C-alpha cells in the first residue's frame, strides 16, 4: 500500500470464505492504493515545512557548508507560504506560482536555484514513499536571460597589473588574470603546490568562509550562531575544490615565474620580521602574519586596484572570465580551456559564444583563402 515514514513497505491483509470474496476485497485495496497514489497512511499529516526541515537535517553532512547554507536560506526565505500545506497535497500549480513569485520579486536565477533545491527534496520524499510523484518535475522554471561575459581588455589587464606592482601580494593578481583561479582557490594556494623549476601550479583546495553553529544548550537561542559564546565549525576553513574538475595542474607562463620567485623572497623577509607571531600555513598569499587572507579584504584590494587603474567597476570573478576569454581568443581548443578553468560542464563555454563565433569566422576566412585564394577567383 506504499511506504511508511521510515521507508518500510506498508502491507494490508484480507481474508474471505471464498475466492470471489477475497478477490473482491483485494480489488478494493488496489482501488484504494490507486486513489491515494501510494501514500502511506502514517505520513498523511506531515506538512511541507516539516519535511523540508527533516530533509535539511538529512543532507547536511553530505553537502558542503556553503551549499547547505544556500539551501537553507532559499527555503527559509521563499517557502513560508507553503509550509503548512500537507506534503502529499503540494501541487504543480503551487510550485509554479511559488517560482513565478520569486522570479518577479527577486530574480529568475534565484527561482531556478529554488526549483533545483525543492526538486532534490521531493526526490528523497519519493524514494521514501512519502509522496508518489515529484511535482517539481512538471513545474515550469522561469527562463533565465543570457548574460554576456564582460572580461577586461588586454589594455586594462596591463594597467591593473601596473598599479598593483606596489601591492605586497602583487603576484595574486597575475595568478587571477593569467591562470583564472577562483578566489577561494588562489587564497588557499600553498607553496607546496607550486614547482618553480618545472613551472607548474596545482590547484588542490579552496578557502571558504563557513557559517557558525550554535554551541550553547538553549533549545531556542535568541541570538544568532555567529554571536553564540560557544560557537563552532565556522570561520575561514580549507575545503575541497568546488568540483572534481577543479583539482587540476596548470602550467605557469614563463614571464610570471620571476615574479613568483621575488614574491617568495619578500614573504621570507616578512616571516623573519614577524618572528614568533608568524602563523605557518605555507600560504602563497597570506596576511602579513602568515594567516589566511579574508576573502572580503581580498575583494576590497581588487576594487582599490580597479579604481586606481581607472577601470570600470568589475567583479573579482571577471578576472577568471578574462583568463578564459584570452585563452579562447588565442585559438586554444574549448576542451583544453575547460580543463584549465576547472569546469565540469561544457555548457559553461556558451557564455563565451561571442569569442567562439569570432574564431569560427576567422577559421572560415582562412579556409576560404586556402581553397579559392583571397581574391575569391
Cell of 305: 586596484
Chain CA centroid to CA 349, Å: 17
| Cα–Cα distance measured from residue 320 to residue 184, given in angstroms and rounded to the nearest whole number | 12
Question: Mean pLDDT of all residues in the chain?
Answer: 86
Q: Which CATH architecture has domain 48-137?
A: Orthogonal Bundle (1.10)
Task: For the chain, give every domain's residue range.
Answer: 48-137, 154-316, 322-372
Q: Tens of pLDDT along 245-255?
A: 889 999 999 99
Q: Are strands 206-210 and 200-203 parallel, antiparallel or unpaired?
A: unpaired
- On whether the CB atoms of residues 58 and 103 are closer than 8 A, the answer is no
CA atoms within 13 A on the CB side of 144: 16
Whole-model pTM: value is 0.72
The CATH number of 154-316, from 1.10.443.10, 3.40.50.720, 3.30.420.130, 1.10.10.10, is 1.10.443.10
| Cα–Cα distance measured from residue 352 to residue 85, given in angstroms and rounded to the nearest whole number | 43
48-137 and 154-316 have identical folds: no
Comparing CA positions, the residue from 131, 136, 95, 102 lying closest to residue 116 is: 136
Q: Tens of pLDDT along 38-63?
A: 444 345 678 999 999 999 988 988 88
Cell of 324: 578564459
Confidence label for 110 from pLDDT (cuts 50, 70 and 90)? very high
| Cα–Cα distance measured from residue 322 to residue 180, given in angstroms and rounded to the nearest whole number | 8
Cell of 85: 500545506
Is 60 exceeded by the pLDDT of residue 292? yes
- On whether the CB atoms of residues 159 and 309 are closer than 8 A, the answer is yes
Output 265-273 pairs: Cβ under 8 A, ≥24 positions apart: 266/168, 270/168
8-17, 62-71, 111-120 — most confident range: 111-120
Confidence label for 6 from pLDDT (cuts 50, 70 and 90)? low
Amino acid at each position: 500500500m506504499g511506504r511508511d515514514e521510515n521507508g518500510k513497505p506498508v502491507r494490508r491483509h484480507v481474508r474471505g470464505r471464498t475466492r470471489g470474496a477475497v478477490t473482491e476485497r483485494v480489488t478494493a485495496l488496489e482501488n484504494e492504493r490507486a486513489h491515494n497514489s501510494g501514500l502511506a497512511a502514517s505520513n498523511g499529516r506531515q506538512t511541507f515545512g516539516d519535511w523540508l526541515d527533516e530533509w535539511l537535517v538529512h543532507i547536511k553532512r553530505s553537502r558542503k557548508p556553503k551549499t547547505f547554507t544556500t539551501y537553507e536560506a532559499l527555503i527559509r526565505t521563499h517557502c513560508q507560504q507553503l509550509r503548512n500545506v500537507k506534503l502529499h497535497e503540494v501541487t504543480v500549480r503551487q510550485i509554479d506560482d511559488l517560482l513565478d513569485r520569486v522570479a518577479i520579486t527577486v530574480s529568475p536565477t534565484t527561482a531556478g536555484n529554488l526549483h533545483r533545491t525543492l526538486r532534490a527534496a521531493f526526490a528523497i520524499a519519493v524514494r521514501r514513499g512519502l509522496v508518489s510523484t515529484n511535482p517539481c518535475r512538471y513545474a515550469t522554471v522561469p527562463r533565465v536571460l543570457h548574460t554576456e561575459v564582460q572580461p577586461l581588455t588586454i589594455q586594462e589587464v596591463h594597467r591593473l597589473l601596473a598599479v598593483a606592482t606596489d601591492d605586497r601580494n602583487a603576484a595574486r593578481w597575475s595568478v587571477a588574470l593569467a591562470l583564472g583561479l577562483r578566489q577561494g582557490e588562489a587564497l588557499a594556494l600553498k607553496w607546496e603546490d607550486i614547482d618553480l623549476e618545472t613551472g607548474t601550479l596545482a590547484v588542490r583546495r579552496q578557502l571558504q568562509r563557513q557559517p557558525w553553529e550554535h554551541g550553547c544548550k538553549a533549545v531556542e537561542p535568541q541570538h544568532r550562531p555567529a554571536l553564540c559564546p560557544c560557537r563552532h565549525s565556522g570561520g575561514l576553513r580549507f575545503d575541497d575544490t568546488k568540483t572534481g574538475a577543479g583539482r587540476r595542474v596548470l602550467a605557469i607562463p614563463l614571464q610570471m615565474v620571476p615574479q613568483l620567485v621575488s614574491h617568495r623572497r619578500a614573504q621570507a623577509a616578512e616571516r623573519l620580521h614577524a618572528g614568533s607571531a608568524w602563523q605557518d600555513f605555507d600560504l602563497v598569499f597570506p596576511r602579513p602574519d602568515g594567516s589566511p587572507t579574508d576573502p572580503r579584504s581580498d575583494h576590497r584590494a581588487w576594487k582599490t586596484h580597479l579604481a586606481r587603474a581607472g577601470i570600470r567597476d568589475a567583479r573579482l570573478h571577471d578576472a577568471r572570465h578574462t583568463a578564459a576569454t584570452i585563452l579562447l581568443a588565442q585559438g586554444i581548443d574549448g576542451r583544453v580551456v575547460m580543463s584549465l578553468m576547472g569546469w565540469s560542464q561544457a555548457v559553461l563555454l556558451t557564455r563565451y559564444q561571442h569569442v567562439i563565433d569570432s574564431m569560427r569566422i576567422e577559421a572560415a576566412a582562412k579556409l576560404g583563402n586556402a581553397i579559392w585564394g583571397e581574391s575569391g577567383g
